[in-house]
Amino acid sequence: MSKNHSEGASLNLSQVGSGDEVRVRRLDCAPTTCQRLREMGFCENALVTKIRGGADLVCWVCGTRVALSARLAKQILVEHVDGRS
Amino acid sequence: MSQDSPKRWIAVVGNPNAGKSTLFNALTGLRQRVGNYPGVTVEKHTGTAFTLHGEAVELIDLPGMYSLAARSPDEEIAVKVLLGQSVGVPRPDAVLCVVDASNLERNLFLVTQVMELGLPVLVALNMVDVAEARGIRLHPDQLSEKLGVTFIPTQAHRGKGLVELRAALGQRLLKPGPRQWTMPPPLAVAVGQIASAWRQSEPSEMRPEGKALELLAGSNVGPDGARKLATAWRERFRKEAYDWSASVVHARYEYVRKMLGEAGIGSGKRGGTWTDWIDAVVLHPVAGWVVLVGMMLILFMSIFSIAAYPMGWIDGAFTWLGGVIQNALPAGMLRDLLIDGILAGVGGVVIFLPQILILFFFLGLLEDSGYLARAAFLLDRVMHRVGLSGKSFIPLLSSYACAIPGIMATRTVEDPKDRLTTILVAPLMSCSARIPVYTTLLAAAVPVALVPVWGKAAAMLGLYVLGTGTAFILAWFFRKKLLGGGSPPLILELPPYRMPSLQTVSLRMWERAILFLRRAGTVILALSIVLWFLSSFPNTSDDPTEKLAGSFAGQMGHGLEPILRPLGFDWRIGIGLVASLAAREVFVSTMSIVYHVGGEGEGLVTAMRSATWPDGALIYTPLTCLALLVFYVYALQCLSTVAVAKRETGGWKWPIFMLLYMTGLAYLAAWLVQGVGRALGFS
């Protein structure tokens, strides 16, 4: 009965380079925000491609572009699909 | 189904921007507003569609939603209809799910939820052309087989698949089978126990699992035993730090992914590379702003340059009509009423129709192309600083057209404090009704011939920037100081760009033109007649100026003058301000009546430019025009906005606050302009 799908994910979405594909490991935000993120496709294990970075960023998830504020991106912990850290 | 059977009600649901309203329009022949950004539909709409056998069914077009866990007022409307809790709409007999075929994973997440409502479901697999262009191979038959409900491929905007959809609507729709996704073990035990307790109390309950999940989520509706069990499980999950709601979302997505994989439906390549190219410019922190300001400047230049021709034609038509009436009727009250009351009042406003249509043409292009969501993205940083998210910018941008749809569009804003703040500042965004006032006063301030088109456009842009900037500053004050709390983060879907549909844009312009002309033919006509009466009686003199001064309206204006004098406004402007409390554009029609200009736009400006104080000094100096412009940027001169704010905030408290703060701000700002201007040596 563990809440974590991963332990030790230290990389967040804002730190990822544009064009990189990553897998969501954990969401670290307020419950309602987490729930909305999951419903929009950012659930644990989902594959996300960061299209553009900056103050706010744009991601490709579940077949759509979704804009996120940078502070929210910092609360989405991810890992590179190719195993990079 | 016999003719005597009651009509079936079918709810149309789906993710935002999946094409629900386009499909609804195609099936019903109605013209609900559509656009290329999430959150166009914020209210439920009903319309009659016919099956292939001629059976009439009532379709309910609902606002888009990502899940049945509603978080914003527009989503609440949709969920309430689906659960049969909406006043005036019966619980639907079936659901038509509209899914974006190019984005099946997320769209089917909602479908799995809808399938658990215990209602028959039909799925329109919409935008199949977009999916195919992205290399997604769709297998509707396999989807139907796996999910146990019928999938019909459609392209709503091209009218494709409608025959099949009408045929399917005429048949008995399939009721989904039992839940197919696997509930995680700890939750499955809890839901099993709660559902069983519910069934014991109410054996007729058709979806005890769904009710159990609602109880776990905090609902208080249900039998005592089930409620107590839910509370105990919730507490246990909390202590064990088990996020059960996350596990449900996760399990549903896992099921959808697995099912799509088994059906051989991939996610395709990332579509719309050209969308990325355009985004690289329009979302750029510097270039994006250049594009935004450039587009606004082009819009305002068009308002002055292109609109000048049709405005000239309308002006000519009213002048001709005035001449005809002048020649046809003998001098007297009827002729005065027709020329100085109705023609001056209605004509004075109708002349601005081309400018308003140009504004709607540009806004329509922005909405239909997909740019609107990008503008919200660009503005998010600014909005965040004032305590709002970029999502609030779409309602604010809509308010450039009219504050009423703008305030309605705040239903997409999830945070209640954000929503209230957005409602409170939305009327500060310069709406289309201000265009006649701005144009008239700008022309009165500086001779038209002396100012190039770009100069007028820049001045107009300045007024819009003033309103928008003040809206942001006040949003900061209301959100951070008055209401308190942090601002929510931005999560916004950016639709792919598409070529704007000329039909959609023209339709919106046409609707706006009808609305504007209807308003001119009703409210403005009635106010013009009343105002003509008030400015003509009692008839104390043959001299037009003295006659006006002695009239009811003149007496009222004189009564107001001591309050308005510090702003540089005379009693005639006072008449205009009071008359335009109902609607801003009435100021122009009122001034046309006050100055007896018989509907001639240029005539009004000329009359205003030569109007003087008793000592011979000009009233409409550039400084006074500026003060009056600033007054109209800020003042809430629109009863319809007050009414819609009352409805959306659920009481009179906030609309009254809005009316008071905007009127106070308008007065103070106009007084400051006049005071500072004079101190600097301007007149």
By the 8 A CB rule, do B525 and B516 touch? no
Q: E-strand spans in B29-142?
A: 45-50, 56-61, 94-100, 121-126
Specify the pairing of strand A76-80 against strand B94-100.
unpaired
- pLDDT band at residue B306 using 50, 70 and 90 as cut-offs: confident
By the 8 A CB rule, do B219 and B236 touch? no
H/E stretch holding B13: strand B8-14
Cα separation of the two ends of chain A: 27
Residues B276, A51: C-beta atoms closer than 8 Å: yes
Residue with the larger pLDDT of the pair B445 and B667: B667
| Cβ-Cβ contacts under 8 Å for B668 (sequence gap 6 or more) | none
SS3 labels along B481-505: HHHCCCCCCCEEEECCCCCCCHHHH
By the 8 A CB rule, do A60 and A51 touch? yes
The residues in A 36-65 lying below 8 A from B, measured between CB atoms, are 36-41, 43-46, 49, 51-52, 54-56, 58, 60, 62-65
Mean of the per-residue pLDDT values of chain B: 88
- pLDDT band at residue B167 using 50, 70 and 90 as cut-offs: very high
Q: How many residues does chain A have?
A: 85
pLDDT tens by residue, B565-590 = 999 999 999 999 998 887 888 899 88
Q: Is the pLDDT at B558 greater than 60, yes or no?
A: yes
Distance from CA of B87 to the nearest CA of A (A): 27
Residues of A in contact with B380 (CB under 8 A): 56, 67, 69
Q: How far apart are CA B53 and CA B8, in angstroms?
A: 14
- Does this model's pTM top 0.90? My answer is no
| Cβ-Cβ contacts under 8 Å for B185 (sequence gap 6 or more) | none
By the 8 A CB rule, do B430 and B438 touch? yes
Q: Is the pLDDT at B334 greater than 70, yes or no?
A: yes
| Cβ-Cβ contacts under 8 Å for A51 (sequence gap 6 or more) | A18, A19, A57, A58, A59, A60, A65, B276, B279
B318 CB within 8 Å of a chain A CB: no
pLDDT tens by residue, B462-481 = 999 999 999 999 999 998 88
We report the CATH number of the domain holding residue A53 as 2.30.30.90
Q: For a pLDDT cut of 70, what percent of chain B falls above it?
A: 98
* Per-residue model confidence (pLDDT) at position B374: 92
Q: For a pLDDT cut of 70, what percent of chain A falls above it?
A: 86
Q: How far apart are CA A22 and CA A48, in angstroms?
A: 5
Residues B491, A72: C-beta atoms closer than 8 Å: yes
Q: How far apart are CA B456 and CA B454, in angstroms?
A: 5
Distance from CA of B432 to the nearest CA of A (A): 30
Q: Is the pLDDT at B553 greater than 70, yes or no?
A: yes
Cβ-Cβ contacts under 8 Å between A and B: the total is: 127
- A40 found inside a domain: yes
By the 8 A CB rule, do B67 and B113 touch? yes
Distance from CA of A54 to the nearest CA of B (A): 8
Distance from CA of B92 to the nearest CA of A (A): 24
By the 8 A CB rule, do B159 and B165 touch? no
Residues of B in contact with A72 (CB under 8 A): 489-491
- A46 found inside a domain: yes
pLDDT tens by residue, B613-649 = 999 999 999 999 999 999 999 999 888 899 889 989 9
The residues in B 479-518 lying below 8 A from A, measured between CB atoms, are 488-496
Residues spanned by the domain of A69: 12-80
Q: Is the dihedral of CA B471, B475, B477, B478 positive or negative?
A: positive
Q: How far apart are CA B452 and CA B434, in angstroms?
A: 21
* Per-residue model confidence (pLDDT) at position A6: 45
Residues of B in contact with A34 (CB under 8 A): 243, 246
Choose, out of A18, A27, A32, A38, the residue to mutate when testing the contact with B (most B CBs < 10 Å).
Answer: A38
Q: Which of B79-83, B246-250, B538-542, B631-635 has the lowest mean pLDDT?
A: B538-542
Tokens of B683: 């007149």
- A72 found inside a domain: yes
* Per-residue model confidence (pLDDT) at position A84: 64
Tokens of B44: 């439920």
Total domain count, chain A: 1
- A76 found inside a domain: yes
Q: How far apart are CA B503 and CA A25, in angstroms?
A: 45
* Per-residue model confidence (pLDDT) at position B602: 63
Tell me the CA distances in angstroms from B272 to A51, A75, B107, B168, B326, one per residue in order.
12, 28, 19, 32, 62
The residues in B 249-268 lying below 8 A from A, measured between CB atoms, are 249-250, 253-254, 267-268
- A53 found inside a domain: yes
By the 8 A CB rule, do B47 and B28 touch? yes
* Per-residue model confidence (pLDDT) at position A2: 38
- CA proximity to B180, closest of B211, B149, B154: B149
* Per-residue model confidence (pLDDT) at position A3: 42
* Per-residue model confidence (pLDDT) at position B599: 47
Alpha helices per DSSP H over B242-286: 244-262, 273-282
* Per-residue model confidence (pLDDT) at position B626: 95
For B189, other C-beta atoms within 10 Å of its C-beta total 12
- A19 found inside a domain: yes
Q: How far apart are CA B362 and CA B358, in angstroms?
A: 6
By the 8 A CB rule, do B21 and B43 touch? no
Q: Which amino acid is at B613?
A: W
Tokens of B48: 């009659």
By the 8 A CB rule, do B453 and B367 touch? no
Q: Is the pLDDT at B427 greater than 90, yes or no?
A: yes
Residues of B in contact with A55 (CB under 8 A): 285, 381
Tokens of B177: 């089978």
For B124, other C-beta atoms within 10 Å of its C-beta total 29
Q: How far apart are CA B348 and CA A52, in angstroms?
A: 50
Tokens of B567: 């702003």
- At how many degrees (to 10) do helices B601-610 and B434-445 cross? 50
* Per-residue model confidence (pLDDT) at position B619: 93
The question of ipTM being above 0.85 is answered as yes
Q: Is the pLDDT at B202 greater than 90, yes or no?
A: no
Q: How far apart are CA B478 and CA B487, in angstroms?
A: 12
